[in-house]
Structure 1
Amino acid sequence: MDTFLPYLIVCPMVFMAGLIDAVAGGGGLISLPAYMIAGVPVHGAIATNKMSAAMGTVIATYRYGKSGFIHWKRALPCVVFALGGSYIGARITLLLSERSIQILMLFILPVTALYVLRGRSLDAERVPYSYGRTVLLSVLISFCIGIYDGFYGPGTGTFLLLLLTGLAHIGLTEAAGTTKVINLSTNISALVVFLLNGVVMLPLGIVAGLFSIAGNYVGTRIFTEKGTKFVKPFILVVLVIFFIKVLTELFG
């Protein structure tokens, strides 16, 4: 970039996105628009955002793993199915219009927000399923959300967290860890493609990535030290931002 202005716009917003992403997912709803506001072309914005997000997610994944929140035996099959779903979702984009999924999200998001508001706490005691049933539900959720991630993407981490806790009855801390492993895998997969095609703005991506690392570090500290009471407000903020974003894209 020719000036420092894009750095001044992008870096603070990427820090906040990393913080939110570490706690509740959905940080891309903040960071991707930041690149576009800074004047980065669309393809460059998507690719460079993927780089900074991947750098931050490495730290979040490491810290969740170090805290014992990742059940690797259950998480790795989820990664495989999420990657498969993401590939299928990317292929679907060639067949369907993005507008159709945006219209669908206008109905899904309010229902999701209502579930978060009126449902039990995300870390409420749930009767755990058998190991086999938990794995089956987890990989199905990962596969479906992987398709969504490949097709559209925003809010993937938030939806994963809600579904893994609500449907698969996985505890919040393990669900958060599994979400980070999946996000890291899909981020790296997409980043490799972008790097090979030369669309990543490396200087901006590296600097923004450092801010993403800092945001993710702060976010994981909030999650591990302050408890889970902060998760629901963060998720609701993400859902509201997402809803406004979809409305703007459809009718703006």
Structure 2
Amino acid sequence: MTISGLELTAATLALLVLAAFAAGWVDAVVGGGGLLQLPALLLVPGISPVQALATNKVAGILGTSVSAATFYRRVQPGLATAGPMALTALVGAGGGAALAGALPEGVFQPVILVALVTVAVYTVARPQVGRATELRWRGRRHLLVALGLGAVIGVYDGLLGPGTGSFLVISLVSVLGYGFLEASAQAKIVNAATNLGALIVFTLQGAPLWALGLVMGVANIAGAYTGARMAVARGSAFVRVVFVAVVGALIVKLTADLLG
């Protein structure tokens, strides 16, 4: 069958849909769904890396928007942090997407791997972190730190993407002092903004494969809705366990990429 000008077998399309559903679920709980969705897209014959990145954003923004809305209704996170953070993240993601075709992925992988290992060790070594919200700062300093985190992680999402939600969650937990559940809820709002910022730039470049992205987006929405409801029902302890598992998987994948 032909979708977005690509010849896809039924098996390949089924793999993409399954990866999109799983990515939506993981993204809704802790982020990191790009670990599943982007590599699946890169396996499609004839697709370029930039097309895969852009199409991943089409599907991702649909699922992230649904999980953000679900979290907002059920957890009602404060927007004083997520709103401004989302704005700088959107701008950062647009800038990162503009550079995505020019900078080699290998430049970032070692740095990302070190960051993920640090995150994993920190989370495992401090089991009390993230159980409840205990903000480290308030007022202007809190806002400035949130804006900086949004901008930096936004640039990363536009450039590469996988693990963005996980970086957002651990930043909100370890740097700002949110509990895992509220951090996950706020991360979805910011992540939706990073996806939008990157997608705007990719669209101007003509990179997204819209038909394929929308097909995967439907599956991503289903996974996101399921994951968000499960995270809210089970609370911060469940989110923390899934977070550690996803970060561990990201570490394994990046290590394999570097050694390969």
Alignment TM-score, normalising by the size of structure 2: 0.86
Alpha-carbon spacing, 1:223–1:166, altered in 2? closer, same or farther (3 Å):
same
* Alpha-carbon distance, 1:232 to partner: 2.0
1:36 maps onto 2:64 in alignment: no
Distance 1:190 1:228 in 2: 29
Match of 1:99 in 2: 106
Match of 1:137 in 2: 145
Match of 2:66 in 1: 59
Match of 2:115 in 1: 108
CA contact (8 A) 2:130 2:177 kept: no
Match of 2:194 in 1: 186
1:232 maps onto 2:240 in alignment: yes
Match of 1:221 in 2: 229
| Structure 2 residue identity aligned to 1:209 | G
Alpha-carbon spacing, 1:37–1:152, altered in 2? closer, same or farther (3 Å):
closer
1:158 to 163, 166, 181: 166
Alpha-carbon spacing, 1:116–1:30, altered in 2? closer, same or farther (3 Å):
same
Alignment TM-score, normalising by the size of structure 1: 0.89
| Structure 1 residue identity aligned to 2:234 | K
Distance 2:104 2:214 in 1: 33
Q: Percent identity?
A: 33
| Structure 1 residue identity aligned to 2:254 | V
Q: What stretches of structure 1 of length at least 5 have no aligned partner?
A: none
State the Cα RMSD in Å.
Answer: 2.3
Alpha-carbon spacing, 1:91–1:43, altered in 2? closer, same or farther (3 Å):
closer
1:45 maps onto 2:52 in alignment: yes
* Alpha-carbon distance, 1:151 to partner: 3.5
| Structure 2 residue identity aligned to 1:16 | A
* Alpha-carbon distance, 1:155 to partner: 0.9
Match of 2:254 in 1: 246
Match of 1:19 in 2: 25
CA contact (8 A) 1:9 1:38 kept: no
| Structure 1 residue identity aligned to 2:224 | N
Deviations 1:177-223 (A, max 9, x none): 22111111121222233334333223322221111001000111111
Distance 1:217 1:123 in 2: 23
* Alpha-carbon distance, 1:50 to partner: 1.0
Deviations 1:60-104 (A, max 9, x none): 111112124332232221112212333454566688653232122
Q: What stretches of structure 2 of length at least 5 have no aligned partner?
A: none
Alpha-carbon spacing, 1:221–1:246, altered in 2? closer, same or farther (3 Å):
same
| Structure 1 residue identity aligned to 2:21 | F
* Alpha-carbon distance, 1:6 to partner: 2.4
Distance 1:124 1:174 in 2: 9
Name which of structure 1's ranges 85-94 and 136-145 shifts more when overlaid on structure 2.
85-94
| Structure 1 residue identity aligned to 2:235 | G
CA contact (8 A) 1:22 1:60 kept: yes
Alpha-carbon spacing, 1:68–1:203, altered in 2? closer, same or farther (3 Å):
same
Name which of structure 1's ranges 74-83 and 130-139 shifts more when overlaid on structure 2.
130-139
